[in-house]
Amino acid sequence: MSAIIVCGSGPSLLKVPFDEVGLPYAAVSTAIRFTPLPAYWILIDRLSRAHQRDPSNPAHRGPDAWTAARDRRLKKVGPADRGHFFEKGFENMTVVPRRADQSFLGDGPALSLKFNRSMLFAIEWLMKCAGFQTLIFAGCDLKMDPEHDLLGGLEATPKERRQRVIRSRDRAHGVELRWLAEFHEIALAKGFRWLNWTPGGPLATILPAFDGHRQLHQGLGGEVGIASGLHRPGD
């Protein structure tokens, strides 16, 4: 059963050794800045400042977005209906059809257009098209932490607008969490497994913990290793 770590851009991504457990990992959208050598970069949006690497920030261990776009070794994935975002400067890019009437993990090659979020697109592609049976979510905080805003911008936002920005982002996070809860039930029914490696985030209310899974199968030793049943593709 193959497994992959799905990396979001939440501050908790910096709290887990996602690149040290021997599993492949995918960078979702702006997470490319924090993920050295990901197996995939999955995004639905046009590149912006939020995707760019800041060389002075030690948390930015991944490639600059435009460098990653031109890197033929890195597989990029995006939706065909937004293919015009990826026509220039993107090498080794795969675009995938989506349909508004397509259910999550439904029949046929198209993916769902139920909600336009990079994370939801990424998880369906990783299961349905890439064939991963186990998804481990890291950095998927789904809540704003104004003191550790990895995407930046809040520090320059006037105070009266700052709270509106935070509330707006958190409303979007709440909608995404509800979709994830619904899609998780569908994934479970189809034999997939999702695990949470996002410390302190709301995903813990709907997903079992990756650390708990490793301890259950490996004991409480200090070895980081891969838990029983979590294999790389082809093992």
Report the mean per-residue pLDDT for the chain.
Answer: 82
Query: What share of the chain has pLDDT > 70, as a percent?
Result: 76
Query: What share of the chain has pLDDT > 90, as a percent?
Result: 54
pLDDT average, residue stretch 85-106: 94
CA neighbor of 151 nearest in space, from 37, 10, 18, 38 = 10
Distance between CA 94 and CA 86 in Å, rounded?
Answer: 9
pLDDT at 116: 79
- The H or E element containing residue 138 is strand 134-138
Phi-psi region of 54 (alpha: psi -120 to 50; beta: other; left: phi over 0): beta
CA neighbor of 135 nearest in space, from 85, 201, 48, 207 = 207
Judge whether residue 71 has pLDDT over 90.
yes
Spell out the residues 6+ positions from residue 216 whose beta carbon is closer than 8 angstroms to its own.
227
pLDDT band at 11 (very low <50, low <70, confident <90, very high): confident
**Helix (H/G/I), strand (E/B), else coil: 47:** coil
In contact, 51 and 33? CB cutoff 8 Å:
yes
Spell out the residues 6+ positions from residue 41 whose beta carbon is closer than 8 angstroms to its own.
26, 27, 32, 68, 74, 75, 76, 77
Distance between CA 196 and CA 177 in Å, rounded?
Answer: 13
Tokens of 174: 């709440």
Judge whether residue 132 has pLDDT over 90.
yes
Tokens of 145: 């932490």
Distance between CA 126 and CA 40 in Å, rounded?
Answer: 9
pLDDT at 81: 94
What are the residue ranges spanned by the domains of the chain? 3-218
167-223: pLDDT as tens digits: 656 666 667 888 899 999 999 999 999 999 988 888 988 999 997 666 554 443 433
DSSP 8-state class, residue 203? G
pLDDT at 45: 92
Judge whether residue 224 has pLDDT over 50.
no
pLDDT band at 165 (very low <50, low <70, confident <90, very high): low
pLDDT band at 231 (very low <50, low <70, confident <90, very high): very low
38-66: pLDDT as tens digits: 999 999 999 988 888 888 889 899 999 99
pLDDT at 232: 38
Q: Which position has the higher pLDDT, 83 or 116?
A: 83
pLDDT at 50: 85
Distance between CA 181 and CA 188 in Å, rounded?
Answer: 11
DSSP 8-state class, residue 231? B
What is the pTM assigned to this prediction? 0.82
pLDDT at 160: 60
pLDDT band at 225 (very low <50, low <70, confident <90, very high): very low
pLDDT at 221: 40
Residue type, 185: E
